[in-house]
Amino acid sequence: MTKAEIQQVKLRFGIIGNTESLMRAIDVAIQVAPTDLSVLITGESGVGKESFPQIIHQFSRRKHGQYIAVNCGAIPEGTIDSELFGHEKGAFTGAIGERKGYFGEADGGTIFLDEVGELPLPTQARLLRVLESGEFLKVGSSKVQKTDVRIVAATNVNLTKAISEGRFREDLYYRLNTVPIQIPSLRERGEDVILLFRKFASDFAEKYRMPSIQLTEDARHSLLSYPWPGNVRQLKNITEQISIIETNREITASILQTYLPSQQEQRLPALLGVKIGKGFDSEREILYQVLFDMRQDVTELKRLVHEIMSERGAGSNAVPASNTAFYSPSVVTPPQSGSTINIVHPLGKQQDDDIQDTEEYIEESLSLDDLEKELIRKALDKHHGKRKNAAKDLNISERTLYRKIKEYGLD
Ligand SMILES: Nc1ncnc2c1ncn2[C@@H]1O[C@H](COP(=O)(O)OP(=O)(O)OP(=O)(O)O)[C@@H](O)[C@H]1O
Ligand SMILES: [Mg+2]
């Protein structure tokens, strides 16, 4: 590919930037497009991964076929197999009619599996089969279906880590990663940050019918030295905020600084806003977030303990009755149903203790539920109901958010 050809592709897909690594990524996408090889696009959140599967589809022989983009993190675990692979009529309660599924629909086309690291393990097994043989089974059917689909996947999480933690199949990783395309982070793109800022500033000026904002020399330096943890998405959002809020269209470094969260604050949720005030409100919100994170950890721990104890409980015949080090399989489930938090109690503990523990647990659970609900509501409000962005803020997967919205009746 010549530079001019790559420039044309950038223009067509609205990609700004001249960094060598970005140009190379576009070049690889175009080169690999006519083949049927699987491509895995990696890169931090907000780097612009979503244009790449479209480039690959458009430059392939499949361009007249279907292009289906699936956000694997946004589909509830219970329905993902049926969405991807279809189901037979009556396959499960509520399966009134039959469904073709994306793999059936995209026959002759391309499927983009975004956030592929979020796929549940059973779905990963089905996906591996379709990648290896082009064959799949609809949910509730034993009749093998054939399909000719090209897979492009993307992830912003470290799949190697997910593999070592047993959350992602290694064989599937290698199969998806036949051709890897790594999209560079914004902090690796040097002067591109200025080009992108100008482009976004001019787009927002047009959108809001105002003169475009301009950067002073020192503001350009600030933009160049900032690490951009949220990458191009963050730059775009900040440019929009400044375009709307600042009446003086010349943006100095000190004005810009007020929009750039400092390093320490970056660990804090974006729902605190760009400028974190020192008032009670933000402190309370910080506390909410800390509690929310802790709760995630505690829930996970409880689930693990429960799993381990149930395994032991299953073999309880082998456990001598006098052995109080073992735990009884008695499980107390808090009344706030929907959540999978279970608690197990040691054998030999007095009944009273058990009751007291349970009461404490319920109390703790209720107040934490309130906090969690409040935090989720705030995140949803802030993002005008956009679950994807709210989930990012809350540092949970979209699927978990979806479940919690249902659980708390927030929809
Ligand atoms: N090079 C670029 N030129 C112009 N706009 C860009 C560029 N890269 C990203 N963007 C814009 O930035 C935003 C984020 O990009 P995108 O949604 O593709 O991110 P992503 O890599 O898929 O992130 P995530 O992993 O969080 O889903 C989009 O609005 C996109 O249009
Ligand atoms: Mg994306």
Task: Tell me if 188 sits within 8 A of 194, measured CB to CB.
Answer: no
Closest residue by CA, ligand 1 atom 6: 48
Q: What confidence category does residue 284 fall into, taking pLDDT thresholds of 50, 70 and 90?
A: low
- pLDDT score for 373: 84
Q: What are phi and psi of 217, to 5 degrees?
A: -60, -45
Provide the token pair at 286: 């910080």
Would you give the distance in Å from CA 176 to the centre of its chain? 18
Long-range Cβ contacts of 263-271 (<8 Å, 24+ apart): 263/227, 266/229, 269/379, 269/393, 269/394, 269/395, 270/230, 270/392, 270/393, 271/375, 271/378, 271/379, 271/382, 271/393, 271/394
Average pLDDT over residues 373-395: 86
Nearest ligand 1 atom to alpha carbon 51: 18
Pocket probe for ligand 1: among 112, 232, 393, the residue whose CB has the most ligand atoms within 8 Å is 232
Among the listed residues 335, 336, 410, 334, the one whose alpha carbon sits nearest the alpha carbon of residue 376: 410
Residue 139 carries which DSSP code?
A: B
Closest residue by CA, ligand 1 atom 15: 48
Q: Is 372 exposed, middle or buried (0-12, 13-18, 19+ CB in 10 A)?
A: buried
Ligand nearest the Cα atom of residue 113: 2
Q: Which of 274-288, 342-356, 376-390 is most confident? A: 376-390
- pLDDT score for 309: 74
pTM given for the model = 0.69
**206 Cα: distance to centroid of ligand 2 (angstroms):** 25
**287 Cα: distance to centroid of ligand 2 (angstroms):** 29
Provide the token pair at 372: 């969690």
DSSP per residue, 39-96: EEEE--TTS-TTHHHHHHHHTSTTTTS-EEEEETTTS-TTTHHHHHH-B-TTSSTT--
Residue 400 and residue 384: Cα distance in Å, rounded? 18
Closest residue by CA, ligand 1 atom 26: 45
Q: What confidence category does residue 276 fall into, taking pLDDT thresholds of 50, 70 and 90?
A: very low
What is the average pLDDT score of the chain? 83
Q: Which amino acid is at 284?
A: R
**311 Cα: distance to centroid of ligand 2 (angstroms):** 38
Per DSSP, the three-state class of 99 is strand
- pLDDT score for 304: 76
- Considering only residues 104 and 293, tell me which one the structure prediction assigns the higher pLDDT: 104
- Which tens digits make up the pLDDT trace of 298-341? 777 777 777 777 766 654 443 333 333 333 333 333 333 333 33
Query: Is a pLDDT exceeding 90 seen at residue 364?
Result: no
**154 Cα: distance to centroid of ligand 2 (angstroms):** 8
- Which tens digits make up the pLDDT trace of 111-133? 999 999 999 999 999 999 999 99
Report residues whose beta carbon is within 6 angstroms of any ligand 1 atom. 14-17, 43, 45-50, 156, 196, 232-233, 236
Nearest ligand 1 atom to alpha carbon 235: 12
**323 Cα: distance to centroid of ligand 1 (angstroms):** 58
Q: What confidence category does residue 138 fall into, taking pLDDT thresholds of 50, 70 and 90?
A: very high
Q: What confidence category does residue 372 fall into, taking pLDDT thresholds of 50, 70 and 90?
A: confident
- Considering only residues 403 and 258, tell me which one the structure prediction assigns the higher pLDDT: 258
Pocket probe for ligand 1: among 11, 20, 50, 159, the residue whose CB has the most ligand atoms within 8 Å is 50
**313 Cα: distance to centroid of ligand 2 (angstroms):** 43
Average pLDDT over residues 194-220: 97
Residue 287 and residue 281: Cα distance in Å, rounded? 10
**91 Cα: distance to centroid of ligand 1 (angstroms):** 38
- pLDDT score for 192: 98
Q: What confidence category does residue 286 fall into, taking pLDDT thresholds of 50, 70 and 90?
A: low
Among the listed residues 159, 396, 160, the one whose alpha carbon sits nearest the alpha carbon of residue 299: 396
Among the listed residues 111, 14, 110, 105, the one whose alpha carbon sits nearest the alpha carbon of residue 61: 110
Pocket probe for ligand 1: among 21, 189, 236, the residue whose CB has the most ligand atoms within 8 Å is 236
Closest residue by CA, ligand 1 atom 5: 15
Task: Tell me if 330 sits within 8 A of 344, measured CB to CB.
Answer: yes
- Considering only residues 74 and 343, tell me which one the structure prediction assigns the higher pLDDT: 74
Q: What confidence category does residue 164 fall into, taking pLDDT thresholds of 50, 70 and 90?
A: very high
The dihedral region occupied by 343, where left means phi > 0, alpha psi between -120 and 50, and beta the remainder, is beta
Provide the token pair at 270: 């974006």
- Considering only residues 306 and 156, tell me which one the structure prediction assigns the higher pLDDT: 156
Q: What are phi and psi of 346, to 5 degrees?
A: -65, 145
Strands 110-114 and 144-146: unpaired
Number of residues that this document lists for the chain: 411
- pLDDT score for 216: 97
Pocket probe for ligand 1: among 233, 388, 393, 397, the residue whose CB has the most ligand atoms within 8 Å is 233
Nearest ligand 1 atom to alpha carbon 236: 12
- Which tens digits make up the pLDDT trace of 50-82? 999 999 999 999 999 999 999 999 999 989 999
Q: Which amino acid is at 214?
A: Q
Provide the token pair at 140: 């509730």
Average pLDDT over residues 89-106: 88
